[in-house]
Structure 1
Amino acid sequence: MESKVLKKREEIQEQDKWSINEIYSNDEVWEKEYKELQEEAPKLKEFEGKLGDGETLIRYFEVNEKVSRKAEKIYVYAHLRCDEDTSNTKYQAMMNKIDAYMAEYATYTAYVVPEILSLPDGTIEKQMEELKGLEPYKFLLENILKEKPHVLDKKEEELLAAASDCLDAPSSIHNIMTNADMKFGNIKDEDGEEVELTEGNYSSFIKSKDREVRKEAFKGLFKEYKAFENTLATTLSSSIKVFNFGARVRNYNSALEASLKPNDIPLEVYTNAIKTIDDNLSSLHRYVGLKKKLLGLDEMHMYDLYVPVIEIPKERVEFDDAVKMAIEGLQPLGKEYLDIFQEGINGGWIDKYINKGKRGGAYSWGGYDTKPYVLLNYNYELNDVSTLVHEMGHSIHSYYSRKEQSYYYAGYTLFCAEVASTTNEALLIHHLINKETDKKKKLYLINQELEQIRTTVFRQLMFAEFELYTHESFEKGIPLTAEDYNAKWHELNVKYFGPEMVVDSEIDVEWSRIPHFYSDFYVYQYATGYAAASAFAKSILNKEPNAVAKYVGFLKSGGSDYPIEILKKAGVDMTTPKPLEATIDRFNELLDMLEKEI
Structure 2
Amino acid sequence: MAEALKERKDMDPAYQWDLSSLYTDDAAWETALQGLDECITKTAAFEGTLTTAEAIRAYFDASTELGGQLSDVFSYAFMRKSEDTRQEAAQSMYSRAYAKYVQAETAMSFAEPEILSLPEETLWAFTETEVLKPYHYQMVKLLRQKPHTLSAAEEKLLAGLGEVMAVPKNVADNLQDADLLFDAVKDSAGEEHELNSSNFILLETSQDRTLRENAFRSFYKSYQNHIHTFAAAYAGQVKADIAEAGMRHYESAQAMYAFGEGVPTTVCDHLIAAVHKWMPLMYRYVALRKKILGVSELHYYDLYAPLSAGVQRSYSYEEAQSMILDAIRPLGDDYRATVQRGFREHWIDVYPNRGKEGGAYSNSTYRSKPYILTNFTGTLDAVSTIAHEMGHSMHSYLSNHHQPQQNADYTIFVAEVASTVNENLLVEDLLSQSCDAQEKMALLNQYLEGFKGTVYRQTMFAEFEKRAHEMAARGEALHASSLSKLYRELIAQYFGPELVIDEEVQYEWARIPHFYSPFYVYKYATSYSAAVAISDALLHEGDAARKRYLAFLSLGGSMDPLDELQHAGVDFTSPAPVEAALRKFEEVLDAAEKLIAE
Class of the TM-score when normalised by the shorter of the 2 chains? 0.7 to 0.9
Gaps of 5+ in 1: none
In the other structure, the counterpart of 1:323 is: 321
Checking the alignment, whether the CA contact within 8 Å between 1:349 and 1:374 is kept in structure 2 is: no
Task: Assess if the C-alpha contact under 8 Å between 1:186 and 1:196 holds in 2.
Answer: yes
Paired position in structure 1 for 2:115 = 116
Counterpart AA for 1:531: S
One of 392, 395, 404 as aligned partner of 2:393: 395
CA–CA distance in structure 2, aligned partners of residues 8 and 177 of structure 1: 23
Measure how far apart 1:482 and its partner are: 6.9
Amino acid aligned to 1:295: L
Does residue 57 in structure 1 map to residue 51 in structure 2? no
Matches within 5 A, 1:557-568: 557-568=555-566
Which of the numbers 295, 298, 306 marks the counterpart of 2:296?
A: 298
**Does the CA contact (< 8 Å) of 1:52 and 1:124 recur in 2?**
no
- 1:497 is aligned, of 495, 510, 524, to 495
Would the alpha carbon gap of residues 82 and 281 (structure 1) be closer, same or farther in structure 2, given more than 3 Å must change? closer
Q: Is the 8 A contact 2:412 2:520 kept in 1?
A: no
Alignment of 1:415-434 (within 5 A): 415-434=413-432
How many matched pairs?
Answer: 591
Select which of 515, 532, 535 maps to 2:533: 535
**Aligned residues of 2:464 and 2:487 also touching (Cα < 8 A):** yes
Alpha-carbon distance between aligned partners in 2 of 1:412 and 1:371, rounded to the nearest angstrom: 16
What CA distance in whole angstroms lies between the structure 2 residues aligned with 1:362 and 1:295?
Answer: 29
Q: Which amino acid aligns with 2:142?
A: I
Q: 1:209 to 1:159 in 2, by over 3 A?
A: same
SS, match of residue 537 in structure 1: helix
Q: Is the 8 A contact 1:409 1:558 kept in 2?
A: yes
Name the counterpart of 2:275.
277
User: 2:127 touches 2:140 (CA, 8 Å); kept in 1?
Assistant: no
Query: What's the counterpart of residue 243 of structure 1?
Result: 241
Shift, 1:263, TM fit = 0.9
Shift of 1:274: 0.5
- After TM superposition, the structure 1 stretch with the greater mean CA deviation from structure 2, 535-544 or 419-428, is 535-544
Which structure 2 segments of 5+ residues have no match? none
Give the Å deviation of 1:43. 2.4
Q: Which amino acid in 2 is paired with 1:449?
A: Y
- Separation in 2, partners of 1:186, 1:257: 44
Alpha-carbon separation, structure 2, partners of 1:200 and 1:570:
35
The Cα offsets for residues 136-161 of structure 1, whole Å up to 9 and x where unpaired, read as 21110221222221122234334445
Q: Would the alpha carbon gap of residues 576 and 189 (structure 1) be closer, same or farther in structure 2, given more than 3 Å must change?
A: same
2:522 is aligned with what amino acid? Y
Match of 2:595 in 1: 597
Maintained 8 Å contact 1:330/1:427: yes
Q: Per-residue CA shift, 1:202-223, capped at 9, x if unaligned?
A: 6556545444554566566667
Alignment of 1:6-21 (within 5 A): 12=13
Partners of 1:236 and 1:115 lie apart in 2 by 34
Q: What are the equivalent positions in structure 2 for 1:65-144 lying under 5 Å apart?
A: 65-66=64-65, 68-69=67-68, 72=71, 104-129=103-128, 131-144=129-142
How far 1:359 sits from its partner (Å)? 5.8
**Aligned-residue CA RMSD (Å):** 4.5
Pick from 576, 583, 586 the counterpart of residue 585 of structure 1: 583
1:255 maps to which residue? 253
Conservation of the 8 A alpha-carbon contact between 1:9 and 1:85:
no
Q: State the Cα deviation string for residues 98-153 of structure 1 (Å, max 9, x = none).
A: 77655555554333223223334433223334x31112211102212222211222
**Per-residue deviation at 1:344?**
4.0
| Residues 204-213 or 51-60, more deviating | 204-213
Give the counterpart of 1:408 among 401, 406, 409.
406
Matched residues in 2 for 1:420 and 1:540: separation? 12
Partner of 1:350: 347
Counterpart of 1:465 (choices 454, 463, 466) is: 463
Distance 1:558 1:81, change over 3 A: same
Judged with a 3 Å threshold, the aligned counterparts in structure 2 of structure 1 residues 206 and 21 are, in CA distance, closer, same or farther, namely closer
Distance 1:592 1:260, change over 3 A: same
Work out whether residues 370 and 396 of structure 2, in 8 Å CA contact, stay in contact via their aligned partners in 1. Answer: yes
Instruction: Provide the TM-score with structure 1 as the length reference.
Output: 0.82
Q: Distance in 2 between matches of 1:358 and 1:479?
A: 34
Letter aligned with residue 59 of structure 1: A
Give distance in 2, aligned partners of 1:357 and 1:500.
38
Structure 1 residues 105, 513: CA separation in 2 closer, same or farther (over 3 Å shift)? closer
SS of 1:325's partner is helix
Once the 2 structures are TM-superposed, how far is the Cα of residue 409 of structure 1 from its aligned partner? 0.3
Shift of 1:561: 1.1
Shift of 1:68: 4.6
Partner of 2:144: 146
In 2, distance between residues paired with 1:187 and 1:366?
Answer: 37
Match of 2:308 in 1: 310
Alignment correspondent of 2:44? 45
CA distance in 1, matches of 2:218, 2:30: 53
* Aligned AA (1:285): Y
Write the distance in 2 (CA, Å) between the matches of 1:60 and 1:301.
58
Contact 1:229 1:512 survives alignment (8 Å): yes
Paired with 1:404 and 1:74, the residues of 2 have a C-alpha distance of 23
Shift of 1:571: 1.1
1:9/1:125 Cα in 2 relative to 1: closer, same or farther (>3 Å)? farther
Find out whether 1:337 has 2:338 as its counterpart. Answer: no
CA contact (8 A) 1:410 1:559 kept: yes
Q: Tell me: CA distance 1:465–1:63, structure 2 relative to 1, closer, same or farther (3 Å).
A: closer
* 1:8–1:355 Cα contact (<8 Å) kept: no
Distance in 2, Cα, partners of 1:30 & 1:180: 24
Distance 1:74 1:237, change over 3 A: closer
- CA–CA distance in structure 1, aligned partners of residues 27 and 235 of structure 2: 52
Structure 1 stretch displaced more, 580-589 or 489-498: 489-498
Aligned-pair distance for 1:521?
Answer: 2.1
Q: Which is worse superposed, 415-424 or 202-211?
A: 202-211
Q: Report the Cα distance in structure 2 between the residues aligned to 1:230 and 1:12, rounded to whole angstroms.
A: 39
Give the aligned residue type for 1:463: F
- Whether the aligned pair in 2 keeps the contact of 1:292 and 1:300 (CA below 8 Å) is yes
Alpha-carbon separation, structure 1, partners of 2:308 and 2:27 = 54
Q: For residues 507 and 190 of structure 2, what CA distance do their matches in structure 1 show? A: 28
CA gap of 1:44–1:468, structure 2 versus 1, over 3 A, is closer
Matches within 5 A, 1:549-564: 549-564=547-562
Match for residue 284 of structure 2 among 272, 282, 286: 286
Q: Structure 1 residues 98 and 545 mapped into 2: Cα distance closer, same or farther (>3 Å)?
A: closer
1:47 is displaced (CA, Å) by 1.8
Deviations 1:21-68 (A, max 9, x none): 666789998888778766555322332211111112222233444555
Shift of 1:376: 5.9
